[in-house]
Every structure is written in C-alpha cells, then in structure tokens.
Amino acid sequence: MNDLHRAVPGLTLKYNLHGIDIDLRATQIAALALWLRCQRAYQDLGIPNGERPKITRSNIVCAEPMPGEADLLKEFTATLQPRVLGQLVEVVFEKMKLAGEAGSLLKIEEEIREAAAAAKKEYQAEMKRLRDEAGYLPGMAPAREATLFDFADMTNDAFLDRAEEEIVEALREYAKRAENGRGFRRRLFADDAAQGFAFVDICRKQYDVALMNPPFGEAAKASKTYIERSFPRTKNDVYAAFVERGLGLLHKGGRLGAITSRTGFFLSSFTKWREEILLKEAKPSVFADLGYGVMDSAMVEAAAYCLEAQK
C-alpha cells in the first residue's frame, strides 16, 4: 500500500467535504460521522489503529455570531500588524451578527469584500507614505515594511486569502498567551473566532456539488430584512432562497441536490423562482414528487431534485 492510499480518507475530509449548519450539535454529529467513515476506510485498507494517519480537522462549521467579548476583541486587534488587519477583523465581527439566524444565507463573502478592498488600499497608501518619508526609490522597501507581509500587488481575493491566514495564525498565538488569569477566556475567544473565520472561508469557495435539506417558510424575524434585501426573487420562502444561494456557490456545471417542500414547483408565489432561477440559472435534471411522510415528522409534501448550475 502506498502513501497516497493511506492519506486519501484524511485528504478527502480536509479538502473535499464542507458543511454549514446553525445547530452546533448537528455539526458535531456530522463531523463525528465523517471521522468514523475515515476509520472504516482505514479498517478496510487493513491499517492498524496505531498506524492510521491522524484526522486533525474537518470543514463542518457552525454558523454563529463571533464571540461578544468587546474587551478581548480590542485586545486582540491591537496585536495585529499591519493595522488594517485589525480593522478587517472588526468588520467581520460586525457582519457576522446575523450568522446564527441566517446561516449560509449570510453572504459574508460579499459583506467583507468592500472592507478587504479598502484595507488593501489603505495599506498601499501607508507603504507609499513610509517610502516618501524615508526617501526610498520605487521598488525599495522601507525597513518597517520588511516586518510585514506584502500584499500591495495582490488582487483583493488574494489579499483576503492571505489576511485570513494571518488572522487565524494570530488567533492561535493569542490563545497561547495567558496572563492576569484571562487565559481561559482568551482560548475560548480565539477558538470561537477561528470557527467564525472557517465559516467565512467556506462561503468564499466555489464547489462542484451542493447538497441541502433547508428549512422552509418565512425567515426568522432577526434575519427577515436582510434576507428580503439579499434574495428579492426568492424571499417568499427561505428554502427557495437557500436553493438560490447554493447555486451561487457552484462552479458552472456544478450540481445542486435538494429535498424541500414541493410548493415551489406549483404555486404562483414561486413564479420568479421557477422562471428566473430554475429555467435560466439552473437546469433541472432529476425531479421526484414525493408527497407526505418523507421528512420525519415535518407535515409538508416534499420533492427531491437535482439542478445543474448554468452560470
């Protein structure tokens, strides 16, 4: 058996499977189920317990607000260099307030895109000021700049990738520091914030397949205004909005599989969903009208279907 065969279960879990739920228990159960699948794969490969590669992480995250300790947020952002990273962290904390209500309907990647562009612009201006003050010629870096990571020539997306890496690493270092009896609070803060950035990272990726069994009905009161503004074509029922959101996270030609209420395929209130989403942005390839008694105790007629992203 070669090293690749041994590594495949862990690599699949680390790079190929991602999930979001607003229920922490659901994410924990899903992560455990995937870990057990990896152990079964190792068993089938004949790898003894002591020789199995360690599974150190999964990409199943809980959508929830960032930790609310304002004093620790201020303390943490003060440690970040360049200063614009701290500003970006504050924006993410603010924008994540609806995560527990909206879940993956929160378009956090769009919410922070403008902040990332502004942070990059401010960094470029600061570096130019330092060069001008020191009398450096173009292409020469001032001594202070050498201590910072350089994203002056990065695209906004590349900057955000690098910024996330720096922030998460800073959170790890922050959690290690324990002084004045605040070490436990710091660790909890850092762990919760890292979970929040994992949610951001998942929302910024594009996928080949999305699977969902979304809630249905009206949006929760706290997120209703945001969802109506962000999903004007599908705001009448959150499951339609989840389908629209899922399609937006796919590569062109990617597939979305869903089991939802069947109402969207028949009621006039879903006309925009059918005409603008299903017929223009997603090609239905499979549809099964399942009726009652499919989704446990949910009193709803269900349908299962597969859509292919056209955009």
Domain extents in the chain: 3-62, 70-204, 207-309
- 207-309 fold: Rossmann fold (3.40.50)
Beta-sheet pairing, 207-212 with 250-261: parallel
Rounded CA-CA distance 65/92 in Å is 10
Helices vs. strands in the chain: H and E counts, helices first: 12, 6
Whole-number pLDDT of residue 57: 79
Query: pTM of the entire structure?
Result: 0.85
3-state secondary structure of 303: strand
pLDDT, residue 147, reads: 38
Give 10-residue mean pLDDT values along the chain (311 residues).
83 93 95 94 90 87 94 92 87 94 94 82 76 62 46 71 88 75 81 93 95 92 94 94 96 96 93 92 93 81 94 73
User: Order of strands, edge to edge, in the sheet holding 207-212?
Assistant: 207-212, 250-261, 302-309, 282-291
Q: Are 145 and 127 in contact (CB under 8 A)?
A: yes
